């Protein structure tokens, strides 16, 4: 495993729509392992393909709950319920946070690293992470949706 460079806002790759993964091979597994290591090293809770420069529908998430590491290949949201409005950040947008409206609960259908289909449901932070990371696969950043953006300084002033 190795950490990869995290692409920052302003680079084209973050604004593009990703293609489906079709090969569930060692190349994919290495990518997933590297993405997880990269996310952990940066203290993140989610990372999507474009954030390491790969325009494929691949996501890793770990919000520190009982699900542990979640790997999502070709994820699709199949159910959304309720609303929440919470502060979000992104490893590709360092130093900026924003309030984004998200569903309170989501269900996502995806494939695992071997191509097997599964479903996962999330609420609270996991629902946010699922939506935020799937947005990345469609070239959307949280700053595109946030109704209020805050710098580190502004965030600290609020505490
Ligand atoms: Ni992000």
Domains of the chain: 12-158 (3.90.45.10)
Residue 46, helix vs strand vs coil: strand
pLDDT for the residue 57: 98
Residue 23, helix vs strand vs coil: coil
Q: Which residues contact 65 (CB under 8 A, 6 or more apart)?
A: 125, 126
Give this prediction's pTM: 0.96
Helix (H) or strand (E) holding 36: helix 26-41
Please state, as a whole number, how many other Cβ atoms lie within 10 Å of the Cβ of residue 159: 4
By C-alpha distance, which of 87, 76, 74 is closest to 145?
Answer: 87
- The alpha carbon of 114 and the centre of ligand 1 are apart by a number of angstroms equal to 25
Per-residue pLDDT of the chain (159 residues; tens, 9 = 90+): 799 999 999 999 999 999 999 999 999 999 999 999 999 999 999 999 999 999 999 999 999 999 999 999 999 999 999 999 999 999 999 999 999 999 999 999 999 999 999 999 999 999 999 999 999 999 999 999 999 899 989 988 887
- The alpha carbon of 46 and the centre of ligand 1 are apart by a number of angstroms equal to 7
Stated length of the chain: 159
pLDDT for the residue 131: 98
pLDDT for the residue 158: 81
- The alpha carbon of 131 and the centre of ligand 1 are apart by a number of angstroms equal to 10
The question of whether 133 is a catalytic residue gets the answer: yes
By C-alpha distance, which of 117, 118, 122, 129 is closest to 107?
Answer: 122
Which residues are registered as beta bridge partners of 41? none
- The alpha carbon of 45 and the centre of ligand 1 are apart by a number of angstroms equal to 9
Of the residues 71, 88, 133, 153, only one is catalytic, namely 133
Which residues are registered as beta bridge partners of 148? 99
């Amino acid at each position: 495993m190795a950490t990869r460079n995290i692409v920052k806002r302003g680079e084209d790759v973050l604004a593009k729509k990703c293609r489906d993964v079709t090969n569930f091979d060692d190349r994919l597994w290495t990518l997933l392992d590297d993405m997880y290591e990269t996310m952990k090293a940066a203290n993140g809770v989610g990372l999507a393909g474009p954030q390491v420069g790969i325009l494929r529908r691949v996501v890793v998430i770990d919000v520190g709950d009982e699900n542990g590491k979640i790997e999502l290949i070709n994820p699709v949201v199949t159910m959304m319920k309720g609303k929440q409005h919470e502060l979000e950040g992104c490893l590709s947008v360092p130093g900026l946070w924003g309030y984004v409206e998200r569903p309170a609960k989501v269900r996502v259908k995806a494939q695992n690293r071997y191509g097997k289909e599964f479903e996962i449901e999330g609420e609270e932070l996991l629902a946010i992470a699922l939506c935020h990371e799937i947005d990345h696969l469609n070239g959307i950043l949280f700053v595109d949706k946030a109704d209020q953006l805050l710098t580190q300084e502004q965030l600290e002033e609020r505490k």
